[in-house]
C-alpha cells in the first residue's frame, strides 16, 4: 500500500508551511500580520476597499511606518480617504517590513 505514505506526505506539505501563492517567508509573515490586525477595517483582499479602510495593496514601507506606527502620513502623501480613524499600532514595529513585503 503506497497510498498511505503519499497521503501522509501530502498532508505534511499542506500543513507544514507551503504559503499561499508561493510567498516568501517574510511576505507570508506579513500576510499573517495583515489578517490578524488589519482586516477588521481593511478588506481581506488588500487590493479591495474595506468597510472602513481603503485598499492598501502597494503601500510603501514609508507609508506603513508613518501610518501603522505613528498614525500620520509621510510628507507630501495624499490619503485615499481623508479620515483619522486608524489608530497607531506601535506593537507591530517588528513586523512592518514583513507587512510591506506582503502588500508589495
Closest residue by Cα to residue 39 from 48, 84, 96: 48
Distance of alpha carbon 85 from alpha carbon 30, whole angstroms: 22
To which residue does cell 480613524 refer?
85
Is 3 part of a structural domain of the chain? no
Mean pLDDT within 70-87: 90
Is 8 part of a structural domain of the chain? no
Q: How many domains does the chain have?
A: 1
- Give me the domain span that covers residue 54: 25-103
- SS3 label, residue 32: helix
**Residue 9's pLDDT is what?**
39
pLDDT, one tens digit per residue, over 11-64 is 344 444 445 579 999 999 999 999 999 999 999 999 999 999 999 999 999 999
Closest residue by Cα to residue 90 from 71, 73, 69, 65: 69
The DSSP call for residue 99 is H
CATH number (domain holding residue 35): 1.10.760.10
pTM assigned to the model: 0.78
Amino acid at each position: 500500500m503506497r497510498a498511505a505514505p503519499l497521503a501522509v506526505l501530502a498532508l505534511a506539505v499542506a500543513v507544514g508551511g507551503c504559503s499561499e501563492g508561493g510567498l516568501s517567508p517574510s511576505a507570508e509573515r506579513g500576510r499573517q500580520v495583515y489578517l490578524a490586525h488589519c482586516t477588521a477595517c481593511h478588506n481581506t483582499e488588500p487590493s479591495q476597499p474595506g468597510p472602513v479602510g481603503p485598499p492598501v495593496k502597494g503601500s510603501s514601507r514609508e507609508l506603513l511606518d508613518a501610518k501603522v506606527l505613528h498614525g500620520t502620513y509621510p510628507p507630501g502623501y495624499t490619503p485615499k480617504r481623508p479620515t483619522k480613524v486608524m489608530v497607531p499600532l506601535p506593537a507591530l514595529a517588528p513586523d512592518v517590513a514583513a507587512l510591506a513585503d506582503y502588500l508589495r
